[in-house]
Structure 1
């Protein structure tokens, strides 16, 4: 790798990290805006973790950037409710057991943030549907970003589609089972004999007009061996070329692993970006959502593959989990590649859109400390209160998520271990787009 490639690679890493941190920052804004709207006091809005790099206070909120760019957070007061019967800021003594002590200490820390006059500005006192909106705001922002980025890619740039324009003409006939250059004695292809050239637009096959590469390909394959005509547009002129097709074993269009004997001409198509409509965006989002959901279900299984790649030298699964460092390296590889600038931009936007979709869905897993855990608690609170009203029972009160803190810390520890494993694997055996 020369200095230019190294510089482009590093620039790609930086650009992706900037896009990733903007996504994280917007995720936290998705929490902060509805929290403030519903009256919750938000003391801090931070992008990153660790020591503070820069911060500034606006009103009652401190906005800042921290040194470790691996996430972010919004601090809202009163995330944990006091025990039933306790007054805010006052806890009963006599807690026993390591888990109970941990829970009560966490309550104390949460309640210490409540200043005089803030008693009604705590998170736990919000209505259940307000809690859902606040906690779902972050993932919702990721989904909006993913949809917006995919819309830019599909509707602004488009999808690379085969055009009925010749990109190159094969000079000799090579069996489909072989990958090699032409050798002396190899017969010339029908396209070379007919005089087709790069840039020719195929408009007619066997006297019948064609409008797409697929239509031309199917017409040629169905014709089989024998003489035919190929109508092309070249330099603004319409030409009819005589070609004698040959029969050759080629991969099936609907099953490339199998061969079939078809007519063969010997040309390859040009690819151009064709803008798509909103339906294509919806279809792409639906397909990737289903794929991401399946990946999350199989996440523990895929982490075994990451372990084997990190410590056993196994090959990384290109469709397997990747951490922020690995994703950044992929961004660097994209920018340092020899692909056209338009292709690089599309790949970058797709990578960032996929990152936002994955982060949004991951955060909806109904486990604390993820957003989905808080959403599940709020929904359970709403259901309990609804049942109490229907059966004319006393209000059951707020759901005490503090009781789940031991499980929360266990889940957080697992996430830290997995993040560390991904970081190590991304450093020693990263996913690469090319060999």
Structure 2
């Protein structure tokens, strides 16, 4: 049964990934057609075409390798300065530029001269290229919103789960109380499991984060209100300074790092807590920050990936994963012996995180990513605005073909990295259950 559920989870997650890719390309397609640009292909996947149908000018289809997708717009790259698409050159770099320029016009037919991508104003091209990543962002926000506001975020609550008996440094937590250890302020004041803390030092408490920050910033006698059995009680614990686990900028514990701060001596209960729109927006902003940080750290993860793929080293749980690895994780989630709702919410969160990553990755201002075309259009707009300001001749469209050598280098690096991740996902995958 576990194998069946794992396989089903993989299939469901792959379908979700394919939908995310199709949704991304739909953003490009719809805005391109809105601005009258000719689109000859809308494809999900790469490689051999498994199915396709043609509607108007556009062929819609699914390809064999579900590793991405694309739309094909006519005239993505402008002609050369002489108006030609191809020039003879012995330089491999120049030939690369001219080949890309010629390929951009392969589907050009009589009457298409006014339907070329490069002839559209820069702001329209920015919209077309940004529409794909923005669609992923919209999907991520929608999925996260459903989970956070509809079902809640699983985490610590303001309800007391355990009252610690004695105050010991965080590094020694979990051990028996030493004979000379003082009782915790929570134990001294008679705080009980099940008590819900609603205010601390006159400050309303709505979340565990609020409570944690309040406690860490206080010391000495502090008035607090708790709800016990439907009745509101006022307690006055005398908070002490103690060694506690350090928190990062997102409120997550930093393993092995400690700081001195105010201490009460409680462990919260964990449950799903529905967030308000403002709290959900703040949480999603944190997700964006963490995903951005993860992208910045990608180069530093390469040695660890190489070791995990080829040297038998342990795979870091924060290691990058590809579509294969993410699908495997989706399969493991569905096979877990946890409530069905928990499994479904984890799957939705994982898919939302994938879409958020797609958004940020595609906005990198380098070709062949969408952000590279956006940067080119913005630069063209700056050049033309500057020319008008100083009454100079219009410099014309920015020739992105000149950046094709850089695009090929970036593409080769990305393909190599993707292959490394693929090998690591196959031979040494990240597993939820060790």
Task: Give me the TM-score of the superposition, normalised by structure 1.
Answer: 0.80
Kept in 2, the 8 Å contact 1:48–1:69? The answer is: yes
Counterpart in the other structure of 1:119:
113
- What is the number of equivalent residue pairs in this alignment? 416
Structure 1: distance between partners of 2:97 and 2:259: 62
Counterpart in the other structure of 1:246:
none
Equivalent residues in 2 for 1:205-244 (5 A)?
none
SS in 2 for 1:13: helix
Counterpart in the other structure of 1:304:
303
| Deviation for aligned residue 1:312 | 2.2
Once the two structures are overlaid, the 10-residue window that deviates more, 355-364 or 152-161, is 152-161
Kept in 2, the 8 Å contact 1:132–1:378? The answer is: yes
Structure 1: distance between partners of 2:160 and 2:284: 32
Which of 100, 120, 127 aligns to 1:106? It is 100
Structure 2: distance between partners of 1:254 and 1:417: 37
Measured on the aligned residues, the alpha-carbon RMSD in Å equals 4.3
| Deviation for aligned residue 1:107 | 2.1
SS in 2 for 1:111: coil
Say whether 1:18 aligns with 2:29.
no
Kept in 2, the 8 Å contact 1:223–1:263? The answer is: no
Structure 1: state its 5+ residue gaps: 182-190, 205-209, 225-230, 241-248
Structure 2: distance between partners of 1:108 and 1:64: 24
| Deviation for aligned residue 1:201 | 5.7
Kept in 2, the 8 Å contact 1:20–1:352? The answer is: yes
| Deviation for aligned residue 1:424 | 0.2
Say whether 1:150 aligns with 2:144.
yes
| Deviation for aligned residue 1:39 | 0.6
Which of 105, 127, 134 aligns to 2:128? It is 134
| Deviation for aligned residue 1:404 | 1.6
Counterpart in the other structure of 2:5:
8
| Deviation for aligned residue 1:268 | 6.2
Kept in 1, the 8 Å contact 2:169–2:244? The answer is: no
- Over residues 363-392 of structure 1, what are the superposed CA-to-partner deviations in whole Å (9 max), with x where a residue is unaligned? 111111110111111111111111111111
- Over residues 310-330 of structure 1, what are the superposed CA-to-partner deviations in whole Å (9 max), with x where a residue is unaligned? 122222222231111111111
Structure 2: distance between partners of 1:263 and 1:277: 27
| Deviation for aligned residue 1:304 | 1.9
Structure 2: distance between partners of 1:49 and 1:73: 8
Once the two structures are overlaid, the 10-residue window that deviates more, 336-345 or 59-68, is 336-345
Once the two structures are overlaid, the 10-residue window that deviates more, 65-74 or 298-307, is 298-307
- Over residues 168-214 of structure 1, what are the superposed CA-to-partner deviations in whole Å (9 max), with x where a residue is unaligned? 8999xx99847699xxxxxxxxx9xxxx999x66689xxxxx98886
Structure 1: distance between partners of 2:262 and 2:353: 40
Which of 84, 89, 106 aligns to 1:95? It is 89
Counterpart in the other structure of 1:314:
313
Say whether 1:57 aligns with 2:54.
yes
| Deviation for aligned residue 1:18 | 1.0
Kept in 2, the 8 Å contact 1:13–1:332? The answer is: yes
SS in 2 for 1:130: helix
Say whether 1:252 aligns with 2:244.
yes
Equivalent residues in 2 for 1:32-431 (5 A)?
32-86=29-83, 91=85, 93-163=87-157, 177=172, 252=244, 257=258, 270-431=269-430
Counterpart in the other structure of 2:238:
none
Kept in 2, the 8 Å contact 1:302–1:320? The answer is: yes
Structure 1: distance between partners of 2:269 and 2:88: 77
Structure 2: distance between partners of 1:323 and 1:404: 27
- Over residues 342-368 of structure 1, what are the superposed CA-to-partner deviations in whole Å (9 max), with x where a residue is unaligned? 222221122111111111111111111
| Deviation for aligned residue 1:102 | 2.4
Once the two structures are overlaid, the 10-residue window that deviates more, 270-279 or 28-37, is 270-279
Structure of higher CA gyration radius: 1
Structure 2: distance between partners of 1:263 and 1:122: 67
SS in 2 for 1:252: strand
CA, structure 1 residues 25+178, in 2 after alignment: closer, same or farther (shift >3 Å)?
same
Say whether 1:434 aligns with 2:433.
yes
